[in-house]
């Protein structure tokens, strides 16, 4: 464009067509809107705020120990990205299980059952692939 001429007066704005990704995200937002509105309007946040205002005895020291275990896990997990995910989670899980043993046993039972089911499904899938070849 020349610096001395003005642009044409009959310019028209044309909006780009939406891509499939944009359409999918838009549909997902419309489907999830009632649930997100319920979550935002629920008492979940107010209960959490009240819990942090009046925590049970020893909550913050326990939280500090569990958080420090996660930081130690990050320090020990140099190198691999998988280590950076596994070590902090494992150390925080160990720290949490020391303070909340009943909940840890319940979670371990459910996780063990799920892990067994997944390993069995994987074994069956590999076995079927092996037999096909």
Q: Is 56 helix (H, G, I), strand (E, B) or coil?
A: coil
Question: What is the Cα 48 distance to its own chain's centre?
Answer: 19
Query: What tokens were used for 68?
Result: 């420090």
pTM for this prediction: 0.52
Angle, vertex CA 18, rays to CA 14 and CA 19, nearest 5 = 135
| 10-residue mean pLDDT series, the chain (133 residues) | 67 82 91 77 72 88 93 90 91 92 91 93 91 76
């Amino acid at each position: 464009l020349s610096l001395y001429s003005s642009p044409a007066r009959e310019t028209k704005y044309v909006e780009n067509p939406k891509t499939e990704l944009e359409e999918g995200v838009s549909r997902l937002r419309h489907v999830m809107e009632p649930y997100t509105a319920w979550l935002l309007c629920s008492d979940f946040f107010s209960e959490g705020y009240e819990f942090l205002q009046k925590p049970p005895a020893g909550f913050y020291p326990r939280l500090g120990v569990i958080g420090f275990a996660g930081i130690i896990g990050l320090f020990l997990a140099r190198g691999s990205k998988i280590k950076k995910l596994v070590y902090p989670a494992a150390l925080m899980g160990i720290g949490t299980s020391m303070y909340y043993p009943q909940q840890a046993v319940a979670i371990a039972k459910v996780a063990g059952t799920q892990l067994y089911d997944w390993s069995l499904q994987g074994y069956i899938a590999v076995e079927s692939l092996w037999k096909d070849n």
